[in-house]
Structure formats: C-alpha cells, structure tokens
Amino acid sequence: ETQREAVLDALDNVAERLAEEKEYLTDLDSAIGDADHGANMERGFGKAADKREEFAEMEPNEVVKNVGTTLISNVGGASGPLYGGSIMFASQELEGGITAETSVAFAEAYLDKVKDRGGAQVGAKTMVDALVPAVHTYKKSIEQDDLPPLEALAKAVDAAERGVAFTVPIKALKGRASFLDWRSVGHQDPGATSTLFILEELLETAE
C-alpha cells in the first residue's frame, strides 16, 4: 500500500467515525456551546473524503494540505480554522514523505499552530487539552523510547483520552464555552473529544 492510499484510508475512516459521532459531539456542544460541533465535523471531513478521486494523483503531503483547505472552507466556527489551518500548515512537514521523524514534526507543527491561532494553553478546556499530552507522548515515545510509530500512536491515543477526561472538571477559558464561566464545569469539551476520535481512527487505520 502506498502512503497516499494510507492517507486516503485514514481520511475515510475519520470521516466515517465523525459521521457516526455527529449526535454525540452535538450533544456535548449543546451543553456548553451552540450545538453545531457534530455537524461541523461531519460536514468538513465528509467534504474532504468526497474528494478521494481528486486526491488520487497527489502526493501524501498535498492530500493532507487539501484536507486542511477543505476544512477551512466547509467547517466554519472556531474549529474550522483551527483544524483546517493547522492541518494545512503542518502538511509542509510531510513534503519528504511520511516517516516516524516527519510524523513527529507534523504533530508538533499542528499543535503549535492550534495554540498560536487559538491562544489556548492546557487547562482552558479546549482541543489543546487532548493535543498537548498526545503530541508530547508521541514525540517522547519515538525520540526517547525508540518505539515504532504504531506503538507511539497507541500511547498518544491513551494520553489524549486522559486529556479529554481532564476537560470535564475544569472551567472553559477560551471559545464559546468560556461565556458560561463556572457553568462550563462538569462538561466534556467537544473539540478535545473530536480530536481523540480522529487520533483513534489514525491508529485504527495504521493497525
């Protein structure tokens, strides 16, 4: 299987999973937001997955870049530019192909861009709470512990899961949920949750 096919399969799996989780993500967003996160994610990744034919001739990094631009033009809200812009930016790191090394660079560039654009640090009850532990765990597993990418990704998924749980008891400091102040406490963040679902599907595809 070529890298391009692996990327396209991952995209299909992510789109399918987000469609399955549409209602769940919408429920999470209805508690502390405007009840559109499920629809936003389903629409964005659905449109990207629909471009499979168009992507068939592209290099893996170009496919990833185009997924980003598709999300930017179809998701909207806070999550569209965060997901789309960051995927687009980070795709540069995959120009030489997808290896353990370039995947770490991609993950770090993606996280940096999300933090840069959104201005959220860990503890603001956003997708950053899932991403920071996931990206740090992935990088450490590969660079320090010498684990193969698949095992590193499995550890990153576990870390993201803990990050999602961590969003429940804390108060939102960024995004719509922050308008609720203390009333956001006790609810799981939708964007951290969709981030976890995406990582789970990347792992599932790689397995």
CA distance 158 to 160: 5
Q: Does 179 bind Mg ion (CB under 5 A)?
A: no
Q: Are 153 and 203 in contact (CB under 8 A)?
A: yes
Which class for 32: exposed (0-12), middle (13-18), buried (19 or more C-beta within 10 A)? buried
Q: Does 189 bind Mg ion (CB under 5 A)?
A: no
Q: Does 94 bind ligand ADP (CB under 6 A)?
A: no
Pick the closer one to ligand ADP by CB: 6 or 180.
180
Taking CB within 5 to 8 Å according to partner kind, which of Mg ion, ligand ADP, none is near residue 4?
A: none
Nearest to residue 133, comparing CAs of 160, 167, 110, 151? Answer: 160
CB of 55 to Mg ion, least distance (A): 27
- Exposure string for 2-20, b = 16+ CB within 10 A, e = fewer: eebeebbbbbbbbbebbbe
CB of 203 to ligand ADP, least distance (A): 20
Footprint on this chain of Mg ion (rule: CB under 5 A): 29, 33-34, 36-37, 77
Footprint on this chain of ligand ADP (rule: CB under 6 A): 29, 33-34, 36-37, 40, 77-79, 82, 114, 118-120, 126-128, 174-176, 189-192
